[in-house]
């Protein structure tokens, strides 16, 4: 019953290739899905959705996307905020331009638009690596934010320069706009998270993922065994940007509802998502979730403890929160540079042998 592979024999390669080859793991995964889909929606309220679940789910998609690019393919990117903005503005233009089409399709299309933009900004990666590529993607970040501020067509010539999401429904239930209910928006995001995570897992365990990791680990050797560096780097940029675009679209339309580009999708966003995957663990889907949970939950937790329980003034707590989160990140990186995912792996290794470690 406990976490172990003894007695859990595989007789086909298909069985051996599953996402969770160990039975206990597999049941845990089904339990989490069951809980998330069938229990949480009934007990959830507005506070939990807006403060915890929605940011966690949406950032998890962005983190998975960035992890594909940085963790799996080894191409550093600081343009996440800009690409999220592309997703947001794409979905806005689609929602206002084609109101009769389902929002579900709009969000996927917004991901597609972002994928194309991502490929365009990924082109320098063929020539430059590492920090230099990071600077090139930083240019994308600033350029995209500037573009969405500068060209009124993107925000439909509104006086405030903001974009705000009109009400759209899925199966007759509002998921965007002012009249949404907590469980509906939660489930809507959860569906996207689940689909994205499964796609990411399928891509990374198969040929595409091996190509990306080969490029990450040693690009010269990758080329000599037949990996086309152009195609695989650009495919990583495309897939990564698709996820980030979807998360940007959800962030704007379902979560915030109204957005000013510089504020919502600034350079801070890029760093936040990058921290998530570094803390969560590079090259791990689980790590993307763990990192997103860590950076979303920690401030909420600290605020509740400092203001709610200790009764400190809000401004003091807010400043202290920055310091504590910053310190924790540094401590974390020193203690476990491979992130939460590595901690999880070590724990699982231990658990396999527990309680007889010899």
Q: Which residues bind another protein (CB under 8 A)?
A: 12-14, 17, 199, 202-203, 206-208, 210-211, 213-214, 216-218, 220-229, 235, 239, 283
Q: How far is CA 211 from CA 74, 128, 190, 206, in A?
A: 11, 19, 29, 9
3-state secondary structure 8-24: CCCCCHHHHCCCCCCHH
Shortest CB 338 distance to another protein, Å: 11
Shortest CB 166 distance to another protein, Å: 31
Shortest CB 165 distance to another protein, Å: 28
Residue 105 or 151: the one with the smaller Cβ distance to another protein is 105
Residue 200 or 254: the one with the smaller Cβ distance to another protein is 200
Q: Is 243 in contact with 131 (CB distance < 8 Å)?
A: no
Shortest CB 274 distance to another protein, Å: 19
Residue 57 or 239: the one with the smaller Cβ distance to another protein is 239
Residue 142 or 344: the one with the smaller Cβ distance to another protein is 344
Residue 7 or 226: the one with the smaller Cβ distance to another protein is 226
Shortest CB 71 distance to another protein, Å: 10
The long-range contacts involving 135-140, CB below 8 angstroms and separated by at least 24 positions, are: 135/78, 137/76, 137/77, 137/78, 137/79, 138/78, 138/79, 138/267, 138/270, 140/79, 140/82, 140/83
Per DSSP, which regions of 197-295 are E strands?
258-259
Q: How many other CB atoms are there within 10 angstroms of residue 261's CB atom?
A: 25
Helix (H) / strand (E) element for 357: namely none
Identify the sign of the CA torsion 13, 15, 19, 21. Answer: negative
Shortest CB 201 distance to another protein, Å: 8
Residue 165 or 227: the one with the smaller Cβ distance to another protein is 227
Q: Is 302 in contact with 321 (CB distance < 8 Å)?
A: yes
């Amino acid at each position: 019953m406990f976490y172990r592979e003894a007695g859990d024999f595989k007789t086909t390669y298909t069985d051996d290739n599953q996402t969770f080859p160990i039975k206990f793991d597999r049941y845990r995964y089904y339990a989490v899905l069951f809980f998330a889909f069938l229990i949480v929606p009934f007990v959830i309220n507005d506070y939990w959705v807006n403060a915890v679940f929605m940011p966690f789910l949406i950032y998890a998609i962005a983190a998975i996307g960035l992890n594909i690019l940085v963790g799996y393919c080894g191409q550093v990117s600081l343009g996440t905020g800009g690409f999220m903005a592309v997703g947001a503005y794409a979905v806005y233009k689609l929602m206002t331009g084609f109101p009769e089409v389902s929002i579900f399709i709009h969000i996927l299309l917004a991901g597609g638009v972002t994928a194309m933009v991502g490929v365009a900004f990924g082109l320098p990666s063929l020539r430059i690596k590492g920090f230099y590529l990071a600077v090139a993607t930083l240019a994308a970040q600033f350029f995209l934010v500037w573009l969405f501020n500068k060209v009124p067509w993107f925000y439909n010539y509104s006086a405030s320069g903001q974009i705000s999401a009109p009400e759209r429904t899925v199966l007759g239930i509002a998921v965007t706009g002012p009249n949404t209910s907590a469980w509906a928006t939660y489930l809507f995001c959860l569906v996207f998270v689940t689909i994205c995570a499964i796609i990411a897992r399928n891509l990374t365990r198969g040929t595409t993922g091996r190509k990306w990791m080969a490029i990450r680990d040693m690009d010269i050797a990758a080329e000599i065994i037949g990996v086309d560096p152009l195609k695989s780097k650009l495919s990583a940029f495309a897939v990564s940007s698709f996820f980030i675009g979807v998360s940007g679209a959800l962030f704007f339309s379902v979560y915030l509802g109204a957005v000013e580009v510089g504020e919502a999708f600034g350079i801070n966003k890029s760093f936040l998502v990058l921290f998530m995957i570094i803390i969560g663990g590079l090259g791990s889907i689980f790590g993307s979730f763990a990192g997103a949970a860590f950076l979303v939950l920690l401030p909420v937790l600290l605020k509740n403890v400092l203001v709610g329980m200790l009764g400190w003034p809000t401004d003091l707590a807010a400043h202290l929160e920055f310091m504590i989160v910053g310190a924790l990140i540094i401590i974390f990186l020193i203690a476990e540079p491979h992130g939460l995912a590595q901690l999880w792996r070590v724990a699982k290794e231990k658990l396999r042998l527990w309680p007889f470690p010899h």
